[in-house]
Amino acid sequence: MKKLLTLSISLALVVAAFAADTAEVPYPTNYRSWTHVKSMVIQPGHALHASFGGIHHLYANDLALQGYRAGSFPDGAVIVFDLLEAPARDHAITEGPRKVVGVMHRDATRFAATGGWGFEGFAGDSRTQRAVGANAAAACFACHQSHRGRDYVFSSYRP
């Protein structure tokens, strides 16, 4: 009986760990060495300026690169949206401090509710401060679902 109880508790812990895991997109360690996909500057007056004002760069890991080429993304594909301040001075726009590291992490099972993608944002240079958390459906997928035909991805790889 004691053995059965121990087993039940162990199983419960495993299930709890797995449930917690399904909700979390990991920080994309080393993404700065991934392939640069494309960039864009969003300026004051743009409809998305409040959320995405600044200069952003998209980076793709190897599986995400395959996805850009194929038009659909395999599990394990990760796309990073690296958003920086973009101060304009003397007819030049440079890169300022990081605002957020946005992440799309492909796992068709764990993130089935949001098109097979987990969405997260890491504030500034933090690897732990989550800006999206449980709000992915409203904060991210609400817009991305308009791109269902492109596997929910807005960007295209610039050769």
- In the complex, the residues that contact a second copy under the rule CB under 8 A are 32-33, 35-36, 38-46, 49, 55, 57, 59, 86, 88, 90-95, 158-159
Q: How far is CA 63 from the centre of its chain?
A: 14
Question: Minimum CB separation from a second copy for residue 45, in Å?
Answer: 4
* DSSP state for residue 15 in the 8-state scheme: H
Look at strands 92-93 and 88-89 and give their pairing.
antiparallel
Question: Minimum CB separation from a second copy for residue 86, in Å?
Answer: 8
Q: Which residue has the tokens 């796309």?
A: 79
Distance CA 53, CA 140 (A): 16
10 vs 146, beta carbon nearer a second copy? 146
42 vs 78, beta carbon nearer a second copy? 42
91 vs 148, beta carbon nearer a second copy? 91
Question: Minimum CB separation from a second copy for residue 33, in Å?
Answer: 5
Torsion over CA: 65, 151, 128, 17 (sign): negative
Distance CA 54, CA 124 (A): 13
Q: Which residue has the tokens 């605002």?
A: 99
5 vs 48, beta carbon nearer a second copy? 48
Question: Minimum CB separation from a second copy for residue 8, in Å?
Answer: 47
